[in-house]
């Protein structure tokens, strides 16, 4: 049997969804409460890591996830710079908060900052997950 | 729309675009990175043109005024640095195309290369101390990975050593920033400069300066802290050695050091001769020690690595002399050594590509078979030694002029005598690699490699012959920008030249 025991798998199945949603919450409320893109990205990556730890995985599947993670990491970085550059193109200043600011302490407020948080969370989540996969790939190197 | 953010935004975008492009069509990676570095070269020329009219372009990131927000302060000294960075990165990109054909995972190489370029560009235009540290770490961490790109035991060991040494430097810099922040409550270079004028030359002031000097000496590979250099340069792929030796160490160590000493701490030779004498002493130590060690080397790239340590010493002497000619000489030397050492490492790459070895004892008689490489080496070497009319001559000339004007005749004589060492170790390569009798046939260097080398040779000759305009429009203003001292702060806060 791959992965850990039945108890671990069951608990994982229950908690993974909550972790994921909690991560999303931290990301989307980044401009309102403590936390933000980085912390939320780490929590989301943690959900993926827990899933792999509990259920195990195969070499080919891990390779595929690593490719996908690297693409998402690039997309996150591109989004972040894209926001900064669009400020340059639209409003004429790099990183200008050019969107309407809205009412403070509402979910839809703070201009570009929520979008920056989302971009950071994609970058950080994918980056951490690929670091985990890279560390996990050591076991294949040992086997070879 | 301003050109200032493009310096670091363009390479950053490219860095993140490359992993995606690589999945679509492989050669696109090389085309895009070369194109971007060429565009950066064009923008840097525009930057030089702008600084002719305006002493400093202040760019407020996100429209936050200094000292609250991060500002980019682009003056003539930044313009020179950016110019050299863009040229060396352009030739490195050109050269990489065929050189990398024996490596796998090329997109990683170009991504990291672009990150190094973005970091260096950021360091040279930022006006914020912590931002400088962040860019320094971006560039440094990417360069650790690039040194380890071959992933053999030798490369990994060199990269590990480089990483440990580099991080000791980086963290010392961070600690000094933290202490400075505790004292001055600001991170803006200009604002720190104001606060330090109030604080005065207390022991605290000298401690911070000492810590920064230590950190930058490691990053620049100066002699007591040089031990990572002779491992890292030979281990890295040749285009990366060219980038590291040509410009990285100068931006990481020398540029930051000069900016902080002259513009932030506001030291001048007239007031603090002791400090500037220490710089001269460190420079002389580097030149003599590394020059003598280079004579004993039997590896092409290792010899060049020791040569780099030794040549950086001249730049430090130039800043240590501290008068106008000394500083002009130092900045000219950044230019001259960047081009020459970049070129010499490219020739080493071309030799390694053709023969798969860089051991001087095994190489012989490549001059007939690889004329472009051999002549590039000769031009680069002659410029490095200081033969007129190449650019290296004027660099040395100004340093020596500066030494004489400052009354250090012994220093002028010593600088000339020590440059004989340069000639000696370069002749050793010339003799054993390009002269002698040929043993067997080898490959020729491919077209893109030769283009990269010829581009640098042309620059060395052109800047050498036309040194007067370069002096008037590029290097002279840069020296004035440094000698402006704490006037730098007034310019940043003057708000007149906002968001050019």
- pLDDT tens, residue by residue, A60-114: 788 888 888 888 888 998 999 989 888 888 887 888 888 888 888 888 888 888 8
* Interface with chain B: mutation pick from A73, A94, A97, highest number of B CBs within 10 Å: A94
Contact of B20 with chain A, judged by CB distance below 8 Å, is answered with yes
Contact of B60 with chain A, judged by CB distance below 8 Å, is answered with yes
Contact A88 B12 (CB under 8 A): no
Q: Choose among B5, B12, B60: nearest Cβ to A88.
A: B5
C-beta neighbour count of B171 within 10 angstroms: 13
Q: Six-digit token pair at A110?
A: 């703070």
Q: Six-digit token pair at B161?
A: 């050593």
| Confidence (pLDDT) at B493 | 84
Chain B contacts of A83, Cβ < 8 Å? Answer: none
Contact B142, B112 (CB under 8 A): yes
Q: Which of A133-137, B77-81, B457-461 has the lowest mean pLDDT?
A: A133-137
Mean pLDDT of all residues in B402-426: 90
- pLDDT tens, residue by residue, B389-404: 889 899 999 999 999 9
The Cα B254–Cα B222 span in angstroms is 10
Mean pLDDT of all residues in B401-414: 91
Is residue A1 domain-resident?
no
Q: What angle do CA B193, B195, B197 make, to 5 degrees?
A: 70
Is residue A126 domain-resident?
yes
Contact A83, A119 (CB under 8 A): yes
- The candidate with the shortest Cα–Cα distance to B266, out of B218, B213, B209, B214, is B209
Is residue A39 domain-resident?
yes
Task: Classify the C-alpha dihedral B181-B186-B189-B195 as positive or negative.
Answer: negative
Is residue A32 domain-resident?
yes
- pLDDT tens, residue by residue, B3-53: 888 899 899 999 988 888 888 888 888 899 999 999 999 999 999 998 888
C-beta neighbour count of B352 within 10 angstroms: 18
- Three-state secondary structure call for residue B96: helix
Band of residue B438 on the pLDDT scale cut at 50, 70, 90: low
| Confidence (pLDDT) at A108 | 81
The range of the structural domain enclosing residue A95 comes to 6-143
Contact B261, B267 (CB under 8 A): yes
The Cα B482–Cα B488 span in angstroms is 8
Contacts of A91 (CB under 8 A, 6+ apart): A98
- The candidate with the shortest Cα–Cα distance to A52, out of A142, A143, A131, is A131
Q: Choose among A71, A75, A85: nearest Cβ to B9.
A: A85
Q: Which residue has the tokens 């989302």?
A: A118
Is residue A77 domain-resident?
yes
Band of residue B1 on the pLDDT scale cut at 50, 70, 90: low
Total beta-carbon pairs less than 8 A apart between chain A and chain B: 57
Q: Choose among B15, B18, B61: nearest Cβ to A94.
A: B61
Chain A contacts of B20, Cβ < 8 Å? Answer: 71, 74-75, 78
Chain B contacts of A70, Cβ < 8 Å? Answer: 19
The residues with which B75 forms a beta bridge, in sequence order, are: B56
Q: Which residue has the tokens 């980056």?
A: A127
DSSP calls for B242-303: HHIIIIIHIIIIIIHHHIIIIIIS---TTT-HHHHHHHHHHHHHHHHHHHHHHHT--BHHHH
Domain count, chain A: 1
- pLDDT tens, residue by residue, B473-498: 889 899 988 988 888 888 888 865 54
Mean pLDDT of all residues in A52-67: 82
User: Where are the domains positioned within chain B?
Assistant: 268-465
| Confidence (pLDDT) at B161 | 92
> Per the omega criterion (within 30 degrees of 0), is the bond before B461 cis?
no
Q: Six-digit token pair at B214?
A: 């230590």
Band of residue B439 on the pLDDT scale cut at 50, 70, 90: low
């Amino acid at each position: 049997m791959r992965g850990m025991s039945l108890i671990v798998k069951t608990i994982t199945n229950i908690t993974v969804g909550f972790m994921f949603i909690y991560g999303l919450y931290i990301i989307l409320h980044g401009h309102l409460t403590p936390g933000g893109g980085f912390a939320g990205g780490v929590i989301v990556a943690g959900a993926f890591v827990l899933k792999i730890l509990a259920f195990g995985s195969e070499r080919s599947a891990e390779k595929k996830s690593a490719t996908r993670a690297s693409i998402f990491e690039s997309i996150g970085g591109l989004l972040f710079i894209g926001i900064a550059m669009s400020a340059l193109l639209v409003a004429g200043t790099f990183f200008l908060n050019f969107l309407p600011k809205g009412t403070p302490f509402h979910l839809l407020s703070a201009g570009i900052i929520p979008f920056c948080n989302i971009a950071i969370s994609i970058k950080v989540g994918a980056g951490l997950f690929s670091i985990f996969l890279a560390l996990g790939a050591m076991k294949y190197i040992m086997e070879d | 729309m301003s050109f200032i953010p493009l310096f670091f935004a363009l390479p950053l975008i490219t860095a993140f675009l490359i992993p995606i492009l690589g999945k679509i069509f492989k050669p696109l990676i090389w085309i895009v990175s070369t194109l971007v570095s060429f565009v950066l070269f064009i923008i840097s020329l525009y930057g030089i043109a702008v600084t002719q009219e305006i002493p400093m372009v202040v760019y407020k990131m996100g429209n936050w005024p200094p000292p609250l927000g991060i500002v980019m302060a682009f003056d003539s000294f930044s313009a020179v640095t950016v110019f050299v960075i863009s040229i060396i990165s352009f030739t490195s990109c050109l050269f990489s195309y065929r050189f990398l054909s024996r490596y796998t995972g090329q997109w990683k190489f170009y991504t990291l290369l672009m990150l190094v370029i973005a970091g260096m560009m950021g360091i040279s235009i930022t006006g914020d101390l912590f931002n400088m540290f962040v860019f320094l770490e971006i560039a440094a961490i990417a360069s650790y990975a690039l040194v380890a790109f071959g992933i053999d035991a030798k490369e990994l060991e060199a990269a590990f050593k480089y990483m440990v040494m580099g991080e000791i430097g980086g963290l010392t810099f961070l600690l000094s920033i933290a202490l400075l922040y505790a004292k001055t409550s600001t991170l803006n270079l200009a604002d720190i400069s104001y606060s330090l004028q109030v604080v005065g030359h207390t022991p605290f002031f000298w401690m911070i300066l000492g810590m920064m000097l230590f950190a930058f000496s490691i990053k620049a590979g100066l002699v007591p802290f040089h031990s990572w250099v002779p491992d890292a340069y030979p281990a890295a792929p040749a285009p990366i050695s060219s980038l590291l030796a040509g410009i990285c160490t100068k931006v990481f160590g020398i540029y930051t050091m000069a900016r902080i000493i002259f513009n932030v701490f506001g030291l001048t030779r007239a007031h603090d001769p002791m400090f500037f004498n220490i710089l001269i002493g460190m420079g002389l130590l580097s030149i003599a020690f590394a020059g003598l060690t280079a004579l004993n080397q039997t590896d092409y790239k290792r010899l060049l690595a020791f040569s780099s340590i030794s040549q950086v010493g001249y730049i430090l002497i130039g800043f240590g002399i501290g008068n106008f000619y000394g500083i002009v000489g130092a900045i000219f030397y950044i230019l001259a050594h960047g081009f020459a050492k970049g070129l010499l490492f490219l020739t080493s790459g071309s030799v390694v590509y053709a023969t798969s070895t860089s051991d001087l004892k095994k190489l012989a008689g490549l001059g007939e078979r690889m004329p472009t490489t051999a002549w590039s080496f000769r031009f680069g070497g002659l410029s490095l030694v200081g033969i007129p009319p190449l650019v290296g001559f004027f660099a040395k000339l100004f340093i020596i002029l500066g030494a004489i004007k400052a009354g250090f005749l012994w220093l002028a004589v010593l600088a000339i005598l020590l440059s004989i060492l340069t000639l000696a170790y370069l002749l050793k390569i010339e003799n054993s690699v390009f002269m002698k009798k040929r043993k067997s046939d080898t490959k020729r260097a491919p077209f893109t490699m030769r283009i990269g080398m010829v581009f640098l040779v042309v620059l060395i000759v052109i800047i050498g012959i036309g040194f007067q305009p370069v002096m008037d429009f590029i290097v002279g203003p840069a020296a004035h920008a440094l000698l402006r001292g704490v006037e730098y702060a007034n310019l940043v806060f003057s708000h007149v030249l906002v968001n050019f």
